[in-house]
Amino acid sequence: MDASLRNVYEHMIALGAGSLSHANYLAHFVDWTNSMWSQLGVLQAAHACEIFLKARLAQEHPLLIFESLPKSTADCVNKTTGLLDFESLLQKGQTITYSELPEKVWAATGVKIKNLELYNAFGKLRNSIQHFAAPNEDVSLQTSQFIYDVIDPFINSQWGMCAMDYCDDSEGYEYLIPVLAGRGVNFIVSQNISGGLSELSTLIQDGTDSYVRKMMRMGKSAGLM
C-alpha cells in the first residue's frame, strides 16, 4: 500500500469534524420549516462518531477500518507495483459496522468508548430513523447527550479536540453553550473561550447551581482565567 495513505486518518478527522459541526447545529438550533430537523441531527451525530472511530483505527493502520483483508491475488492489488490499491479497496471493500467499532477500537488501541450503553442506544435510534420508523418526538436532547457524553471525551482524549468548538453557527458559543446549560449537558471546556471564566460564567447561567459550579471547576481545570 502507498505509504502516503498512512495519513488518510487526518482527512477522516477533518470530515468527522465537519459532520460534528452540522450535528451540533441541528441539535441545538431550530428551523421550524424543516420537520426532520432534529432527526437529521441524530444522523449527523452518529455519522460523525463513526468517522472519528474509524479515523482512530486508520491512525494505527488504514486497513483496520475494513471488515476483512484482501489476498495478494485480489483485483484491488496493483498489477504493476504488487501493492494494494487503496482506492479500489474503498470501492469494493466492506468497512466495519457501527456496532462493531467500539470493540475494534479497543482491540487496536486499548481505548474504551465512554458510555457504551448510550453509544449502542443511539445507534439503534439512528437505524430507526434511517428506516422510516422514527419516534414522534424531538430527539435533540438525546443528540446533545450523545455528542457530549460519547464523542466529546473520545476526540478530546485522542486529539485534544473539544466538541463545543465545532458548530455551524457563525456566532461561536453565544447560542450553543446556553442551550447545553439549559439542558444540563456537561461538556469539555475549550481554551478557545476568549473571555475566560467570566465568559463561561455568563454562557452557563441558565444551568442549575450545581451545574454551574461543576462547569466552572471544569473551566478552571481547562486553564481558563
| Cα–Cα distance, 150 to 145 (Å, whole number) | 8
pLDDT in tens, 77-115: 666 666 666 666 666 668 899 999 999 999 999 999 999
Range of the domain at 75: 3-168
Mean pLDDT of 21-38: 93
Per-residue pLDDT, 74? 58
Give me the residues paired with residue 120 across strands.
none
17 in any annotated domain: yes
Helix axes 116-130, 37-60, angle to 10 degrees: 120
Are 181 and 153 in contact by the 8 Å Cβ rule? The answer is: no
151 in any annotated domain: yes
176 in any annotated domain: no
**Could you tell me which residues come within 8 angstroms of residue 112 by beta carbon, excluding any fewer than 6 positions away?**
102, 106
Per-residue pLDDT, 90? 64
Per-residue pLDDT, 77? 63
What is the C-alpha radius of gyration for the chain, rounded to an integer number of angstroms? 19
Confidence at 197, pLDDT banded by 50, 70, 90 = very high
42 in any annotated domain: yes
Q: Is the dihedral of CA 213, 217, 222, 225 positive or negative?
A: positive
Q: Is the dihedral of CA 154, 214, 204, 39 positive or negative?
A: positive
pTM of the predicted model, to two decimals? Answer: 0.91
CA angle in degrees (0–180, nearest 5) for 218-42-92: 115
26 in any annotated domain: yes
213 in any annotated domain: no
Q: What are phi and psi of 167, to 5 degrees?
A: -155, 140
Number of structural domains in the chain: 1
Q: Which of 27-41, 130-144, 183-197 has the lowest mean pLDDT?
A: 130-144
207 in any annotated domain: no
